[in-house]
Amino acid sequence: MHSSCPKLEKDGFLIRENVLDEKTVLQLLEALSNLKLHKAPSIEDERIYGVRDLINLSDVVKEFSQSPIVKELATNFLDKKAKVVRAIYFDKTPEANWKVPWHQDLTIAVKEKRETAGFTAWTQKANITHAQPPVKILERMLTLRFHLDDSDENNGALKVIPASHNKGRLSAEEIINARKANETRVCSVKKGGCLVMRPLLIHSSSAGTKPKHRRVIHFEFSADELPNNLRWYDS
């Protein structure tokens, strides 16, 4: 199931610029501006501004998630059976210039809770059931983050620890140690570009130094079926 892209497998991320044309970016921005931006807790932090359940809230985003551009990336970097399993919209603004500490993405969204071996940390976020699946499932997932603004340190671009994705689920202490022992990288991405990453890559998000919009559509993909009749939320 691993992609045939050596750079992605080695570093756990890569950046593809100029994936979306100006018209597509404008269409998405227009659709997102019609959504009521609310406080969408991510990583248990109520100060992070964004919208969960994006696919169900926006037909334009739903259509985009099925578009050839998105499908081709997901197919290339994951598997031809890859499907979107979660979609979140994140923005930063001068009023909501939030930050997130170093972490791995360990949580998936599912349709309903079913006690299942290996699934822990069941929780409800924005009325959606979430759980932490076995690490094998996370290792086989892919995240695509489509940038609708130029993003760099000024507006709080994502930061990553390259090659930190292939060591499984890490404890808080292991993440701190990885941070001390390794270089970090700011993922500057231009408007229309896409950050391709593995969810287990250690990442963080600083507040912008010159805050302004930093709008990102974040899609997670899997090609796996979940066990025990558990169902992905967005498949």
Ligand X SMILES: O=C(O)CCC(=O)C(=O)O
Nearest-angstrom CA–CA distance, 42 and 97:
14
Binding residues among 148-177 for ligand X as defined by CB under 6 A: 158
> Closest residue (Cβ) to ligand X?
205
Binding residues among 100-139 for ligand X as defined by CB under 6 A: 100, 105
Among 86, 198, 215, 218, binds ligand X (CB under 6 A): 218
Residue 42 engages ligand X in binding (rule: CB under 6 A): yes
Single-letter residue type at 37? L
How many residues touch ligand X (CB under 6 A)?
A: 10
Name residue 186's beta-bridge partners: 159
CB contact at 8 A, 108 and 133: yes
Q: CB-based contacts of 25: which residues, under 8 Å, 6+ apart?
A: 148, 191, 192
Residue 61 engages ligand X in binding (rule: CB under 6 A): no
Q: Closest approach of Cβ 101 to ligand X, in Å? A: 9
Among 205, 230, 233, 234, binds ligand X (CB under 6 A): 205
Nearest-angstrom CA–CA distance, 184 and 162:
7
Distance of CA 179 to the CA centre of its chain: 20
Helix or strand run (H / E) with residue 56 = helix 54-57
Q: Tokens 């923005």 appear where?
A: 91
Among 13, 64, 90, 102, binds ligand X (CB under 6 A): 90
Strand ranges of the sheet holding 120-125, from the earlier edge strand across to the other edge: 108-110, 128-132, 120-125
Q: Closest approach of Cβ 151 to ligand X, in Å? A: 9
Q: Closest approach of Cβ 188 to ligand X, in Å? A: 13
Minimum CB distance to ligand X smaller for 61 or for 100: 100
Using CB under 6 A as the criterion, which residues of the chain lie in contact with ligand X when the complex forms?
Answer: 42-43, 90, 100, 105, 158, 203, 205, 216, 218
